[in-house]
């Protein structure tokens, strides 16, 4: 079964063609980083406007690259939420129009389920059930996943998403956007003395997260050490970002492992943009192997927003005979 998948939940316009939900024939992503860079974060209205420009060329490119004509496609999968509603509506309206014009079935896909399902694009995916950590610019949540469509949320962030905290700290220090990869890189070149910042545990047994405290601690630290005429020394900036990264990664790793122990599971999947972080990948693997668990993390191109991961879930739903009505709406807080 050939599935055309479309993803426009945030600031990347993505389209992919998959064979039987696993084999990628094309996976095209147009990044909007250059549009949002100067604002230090995604500007929702600009994101929707860019999607409306890019959606037709990106879908056309995905079909061409796959060497598949529209009439050979069996169904369409599109992200329905959560995300920025203006962005979601562009992809959803386009998918509906295409489904109507080409008389194709289509299904809406939850973006979070798609992130966790990106691991099925890899050679050796895990068996169900597993613990899933979705950690990106918009989300930080822990799940137990028992199958497609069978997810139980165990915890989530009460304020900032982890990636959002990376982006805000980088902006504060004038390092650029998006902050995650920059902080990841700077911390690698560091740093004999990372600054110790607080970790929010939120009570015993809680699988919720909070990252606004560590972000505020960085703000206060910078205020307490006023900019010298030359600015903060490079060494000091490295110590700050390395300390911040350690604080965030510590909590992510600890809670994920605890959730796996709590649910009696030995398999852990980590996905979303922040899963590209090298310290997180390394620490998660290390902790898990000590506890005789196995960690599965998709390659970085499948961790960040892309349409192939939407196609994985869409295929499973279409195969089961699920069909969305042409009245399907987009929701910024679509529940699982």
- Binding region for ligand KG4 (CB under 6 A): 10, 136-138, 163-164, 166-167, 178-181, 184, 272-274, 276-277, 304-305
- The full length of the chain comes to 336
CB of 71 to ligand KG4, least distance (A): 32
Q: Rounded distance, CA 274 to CA 14, Å? A: 19
Residue 211: which of ligand KG4, Zn ion, none does it interact with, CB under 5 to 8 A by kind? none
Q: Rounded distance, CA 325 to CA 29, Å? A: 27
Residue 163: which of Zn ion, ligand KG4, none does it interact with, CB under 5 to 8 A by kind? ligand KG4
CB of 104 to ligand KG4, least distance (A): 27
CB of 165 to ligand KG4, least distance (A): 8
CB of 177 to ligand KG4, least distance (A): 8
Q: Is 32 in the site for Zn ion (CB under 5 A)?
A: no
Q: Is 87 in the site for Zn ion (CB under 5 A)?
A: no
Binding string, residues 293-312; x marks residues near Zn ion by CB under 5 A:
------------x-------
Give, in order, the Cα–Cα distances in Å from 190 to each of 175, 245, 303: 15, 12, 25
Q: Which is nearer to ligand KG4, 21 or 137 (CB)?
A: 137
Q: Rounded distance, CA 86 to CA 112, Å? A: 18
CB of 234 to ligand KG4, least distance (A): 19
- Which residues neighbour 167 within 8 Å (Cβ) at sequence distance 6 or greater? 40, 41, 137, 177, 178, 179, 180
Among candidate residues 278, 213, 272, the one with its CA nearest the CA of residue 249: 278
Q: What are phi and psi of 301, to 5 degrees?
A: -65, -25
User: Which residue from 8, 27, 136, 157 is in contact with Zn ion, where contact means CB under 5 A?
Assistant: 136
* Beta carbons of 156 and 141 less than 8 angstroms apart: yes
Using CB under 5 A, list all residues that contact Zn ion.
136, 305
């Amino acid at each position: 079964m050939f599935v055309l998948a479309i993803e426009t939940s945030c600031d990347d316009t993505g389209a992919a063609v998959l064979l039987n939900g696993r084999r990628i024939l094309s996976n095209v992503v147009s990044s909007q980083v250059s549009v949002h860079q100067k604002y230090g974060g995604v500007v929702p209205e600009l994101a929707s406007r860019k999607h409306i420009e890019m959606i037709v060329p990106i879908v056309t490119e995905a079909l061409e690259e796959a060497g598949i004509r529209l009439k050979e496609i069996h169904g369409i999968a599109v992200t329905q939420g959560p995300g920025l509603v203006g962005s979601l509506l562009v992809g959803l309206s386009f998918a509906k129009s295409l489904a109507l014009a080409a008389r194709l079935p289509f299904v809406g896909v939850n973006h979070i389920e798609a992130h966790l399902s990106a691991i099925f694009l890899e050679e050796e995916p895990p068996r169900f059930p597993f613990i899933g950590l979705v950690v990106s610019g918009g989300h930080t949540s822990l799940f137990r996943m028992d199958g497609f469509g069978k997810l139980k949320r165990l915890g989530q962030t009460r304020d900032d998403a982890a990636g959002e905290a990376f982006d805000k700290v980088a902006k504060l220090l004038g390092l650029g956007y998006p902050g995650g990869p920059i902080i990841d890189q700077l911390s690698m070149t560091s740093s004999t003395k990372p600054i110790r910042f607080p970790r929010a545990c939120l009570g015993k047994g809680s699988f919720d997260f909070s990252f606004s405290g560590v972000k505020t601690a960085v703000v206060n630290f910078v205020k307490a050490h006023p900019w010298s005429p030359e600015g903060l020394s490079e060494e000091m900036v490295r110590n700050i970002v390395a300390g911040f990264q350690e604080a965030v990664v510590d909590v992510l790793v600890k809670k994920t492992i605890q959730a796996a122990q709590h649910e009696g599971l030995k398999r852990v999947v980590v996905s979303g943009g922040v899963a590209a972080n090298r310290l997180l990948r390394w620490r998660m693997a290390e902790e898990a192997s000590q506890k005789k668990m196995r960690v599965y993390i998709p390659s970085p191109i499948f961790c960040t927003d892309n349409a192939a991961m939407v196609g994985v879930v869409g295929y499973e739903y279409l195969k089961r005979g699920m069909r969305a009505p042409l009245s399907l709406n987009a929701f910024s807080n679509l529940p699982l």
